[in-house]
Structure 1
Amino acid sequence: METWVRFSAQSQAKERLFRAAQYACTLAGDALRRNGANPALLSSVKRLEEHLSIGRKLLRLGSSADAVEAAKRAIHLSDAVLRFCVTLSHLNRAMYFACDNVLWAGRVGLAPGVDQDKWGQRSFRYYLFALVVNLSRDAYEIRVLMEREASAKRCRGPAARAEAEVGLQRLGLQRLGLRLRLLLRVLRGNPPLLLDVLRNACDLFIPLDKLGLYRSGPAFVGLCGLVSSVLSILTIVHPWLKLKP
């Protein structure tokens, strides 16, 4: 009960729940359409999805300022690559949230002249760029951890060194197999990094579909959004699973 109270007190947690419900509606709506469901039921699911989207945008009001503050803190990171990626990601998130706020104002009637399509495209472009930067940061962290793991393995003894040297000389599938095993070991030993990779990879298909760069269909978009939302909720319930910084 205490965990739920702490979780529900956070606006970000509520937004994640709304997001999970929204993409669940997307997934369910497509499944119902494929099975020839009643048009009235499809319309109800679609309206619920739209209401959840508006509710999410309301909960994200002011998030641009939080993202800018996070970018200011990231400027002081000692690692140059992390400093660049994390700062750029937060700045793009700030622009994404700003566009989202404009869309919310247009949908609720505060700014009826807002071009929803134009601002929606802008929003998803910033979102896409933020995700690309996030995945670049994940790739960098994976590379650093793999190099550290390989270095530690070489230092464990003569047998380990010999195995590592042989591994470096191997070509083709054998060498690829060694790299894949090392990658799996690194990800298994770093759950926060693994969750971040999965979440960003799932989210990536959403703006790609919305911008028309890679059409994957509403069912796949809904599934990706639902999975990434559940993973985000996990990082809120268990803060140690959140990738830092």
Structure 2
Amino acid sequence: MESWVRFSAQSQAKERVFRAAQYACVLLGHALRKGGARAELLTTVQQLEAHVSLARKLMRLGNSAESLEAAKRAVHLSDCVLRLCITVAHLNRALYFACDNVLWVGKTGLLPHIDQNKWSQRSFRYYLFALILNLTRDAYEIRLLMERESRNSLAKGSLSSPSALSPGLDNSYSSSDSPSSPPDLVPFPALPLRMVRLRRQLHLLVTVLRYNPPLLLDLLKNLCDVFIPLDRLGLCSTGPGFVGACGLSSSILSILTILYPWLKLKP
């Protein structure tokens, strides 16, 4: 199995290039259809997209083994949230690749009686669940980094005092105000306080993503990818143009992580 995993890793870059070409064809077909291109040209682009998709499925034969190996490695992570999200995501990817292999067998005519629509829907469900887990993992890591950044800022004294972060909270009463004053006479400070907290959280989020390019790329890639199964499953109809743009964008981001391994999110 280890030799097959190494072989799959070597072909991953080619598969990403073919994926970018496939979704570029989807985007091109949508643009040509909007522009009123000839039917023959549209048919040619659709056939090219179908051939590229079939070639991708051939390249992904046996990728289930790679996902299972990744799941076995993720089981040993110390963080329980990361362990759960990454392990279950890899298991769902293994099931997704298995369904994709069945689809390839059906499309090549080796087993022509396979219900391709059923297997396609099944594969996209596994794919969607894996992406949701990946996004959950991204959100969890962002929260941890934001908390760490907040603690570091407090330790360096870069955050303002509580009174400064709560405009109007300490100045709501003058020195002559009585503690028994009716609450409806006190200016309402919640809205400015919430705005300050929101600005602080947005600043922390931008800081965390700015100094963690692997996390930023993984988040963008998963956000782009998640619209593909949502559209194919009929949960969020976005259209072929949007799906093609999302698929092409996520493919380019994946190629970047292969060309520059330090951009790949670990573990």
The question of a shared fold, defined as TM-score above 0.5 by the shorter chain, is answered with: yes
- 2:243 aligned partner, one-letter code: V
8 Å CA contact 1:153–1:164 kept in 2: the answer is no
Task: Select the residue among 182, 185, 189 that pairs with 2:207.
Answer: 185
Which structure 1 segments of 5+ residues have no match?
A: 1-8
Label 1:218 to 1:162 Cα distance change in 2 as closer, same or farther (>3 A). Answer: same
C-alpha RMSD of the superposition? 1.5
User: Residues 166 and 55 from structure 1, CA distance in 2 versus in 1: closer, same or farther, beyond 3 angstroms?
Assistant: farther
* 1:27-62 CA distance string (max 9 Å, x none): 000100011101000000000000010000000001
- The residue type paired with residue 104 of structure 1 is W
User: Aligned residue for 1:103?
Assistant: 103
Aligned partner letter, 2:236? Y
Q: Does 1:213 align with 2:238?
A: no
Distance 1:15 1:165 in 2: 56
Task: Check the 8 A contact 1:154/1:164 in 2, yes or no.
Answer: no
Q: CA deviation at 1:163?
A: 4.3
SS of the residue corresponding to residue 77 of structure 1 reads coil
**Separation in structure 1 between the aligned mates of residue 95 and residue 231 of structure 2, nearest angstrom:** 20
Change in Cα spacing, 1:175 to 1:37, as seen in structure 2 (3 Å) is: same
Count of matched residue positions in the alignment of Structure 1 and Structure 2: 235
Please report how far the alpha carbon of residue 171 of structure 1 lies from its aligned counterpart in structure 2 after TM superposition: 2.4
Deviation of 1:162 after TM superposition, in Å, equals 3.7
Output the amino acid matched with 1:242: K
1:223 aligns with 2:265: no
TM-score scaled by length of structure 2: 0.85
TM-score where L is the length of structure 1: 0.93
Moved more, 50-59 or 9-18: 9-18
Q: Distance in 1 between matches of 2:217 and 2:194?
A: 29
- Corresponding letter in the other structure for 1:140: Y
Alignment of 1:104-143 (within 5 A): 104-143=104-143
Equivalent residue for 1:6?
Answer: none
Relative to structure 1, is the Cα distance of residues 42 and 175 closer, same or farther in structure 2, using a 3 angstrom cutoff? same
| 1:112–1:166 Cα change, 3 Å | farther
Q: CA deviation at 1:110?
A: 1.2
1:165 to partner: Cα distance: 7.5
For 1:85-143, what per-residue CA distance to the aligned partner results, in whole angstroms no more than 9, with x for missing partners?
Answer: 00011000000000000000000011111101000000000000000000000000000
Indicate whether 1:241 and 2:263 are aligned: yes
Q: What SS is found at the alignment partner of 2:156?
A: coil
The alignment-based identity, stated in percent, is: 65
Asked whether the 8 Å contact 1:167–1:178 carries over to 2, the reply is: no
In 2: Cα distance, 1:112 partner to 1:163 partner: 70
